[in-house]
Chains A and B, each alone.
Chain A
Amino acid sequence: MEKTPANIEIIEKYCKGCHICVEFCPTKVLEMKGFVASVKNLEACIKCMQCELRCPDFAIKVS
């Protein structure tokens, strides 16, 4: 895994608040803030891409 910190972009106008990314993130980086997903603990991100891969709405990008 690269050492550079992750950059997580959540496109709020696409997010439908399904909780999938929050639930299946192995290191609990994400949380729901109102109806949309939001980053709670960026340092814990291991860039596994699970959230980006699973989001049905093209609303989350990890780089």
Chain B
Amino acid sequence: MSFDYDKYIRPGKLPHIWCPGCGHGIVMKGLIRAIDTLGLQKDNTAIVSGIGCASRLPGYMDFCTLHTAHGRAAAFATGVKMAKPEMNVILVGGDGDGTAIGGNHFIHACRRNIDMTYIIMNNNIYGMTGGQFSPCTPTGAKASTTVYGNPDPAFDVAKLAIGAGATFVARGTAYHATQIDKLIAEAIQHKGFSVVEILDDCPTTYGRRNKFKSVIEMMNRLKDIAVPVKAAEKMTAEQLEGKILTGVLYKEERPNYTDEYAKVIERAKK
């Protein structure tokens, strides 16, 4: 049976602005299926983003949405959650938005364990502005600002989130489309700050510079590098060389910020 995405998309908003083969559309579809699975209500669900191609996502979604300032999705989303703790709050954005200019907001949202879900579309580049390197650009890769190859090591977004205190961390890819909605649904259900990193492709500004001949080559790379966590347990260090773990990477129960803050309010009233 065909899935009815139109039910969740603002009328007249398609086609979207993303380039041919850009994985952001695949992630948006995964998010929609997750929302459908969980039966989240439009007027009780906020989707919040910063700036970038990935951050254009909320504009298409027929929910309560906020398109904010570059890197500031977590700050605005925190405001929404604190004012309306009963609301489902979902943050979306790119690797540049979330780990460069928004890196501080990201780690502190993790540390506070605010009950929100953050979907980070990691295409290893600043797509929107023409392909400058981001903190997630692999060492050696070409960007408009690293024409001789990037000397920097890249962030591992999932490890960064775990280290900073996120209590649910998962990773998927734009190739593994069926897994995206399942990871997002589990993340939304988790009580606490949940992070879902989706390894994504930007054929326009990353692919071309890094000798990917087509969108299909980029998709096949995602297919090849991904190893499910369970399968990785049986693999040697050599076999895991150059691979990236996918699935639910970390899960823990810990007091969440809105509950703790409610206690502060109670104490202050006494």
Contact = CB atoms under 8 A, between A and B. Distances in A.
B20 A52 contact: no
A20 B215 CA distance: 8
B212 interface: no
B5 A58 contact: yes
A14 B15 CA distance: 5
Nearest to B216: A23
Contact of B20 (A18, A24, A53): A18
Interface string A21-39: 0011000000000000000
A2 B165 CA distance: 47
B14 A18 contact: no
Interface in A32-63: 52-59, 61-63
Contacts of B21: 16, 18-20, 56
Interface of A: 13-14, 16-20, 23-24, 52-59, 61-63
B125 to A, nearest CB: 17
B2 A58 contact: no
B240 interface: no
Given A16-B15, A19-B214, A56 B23 contact: yes
Interface stretch (B24-32, B78-86, B97-105, B257-265): B24-32
9 contacts: A16-B20, A52-B3, A53-B177, A54-B26, A54-B177, A58-B5, A58-B15, A58-B29, A62-B2
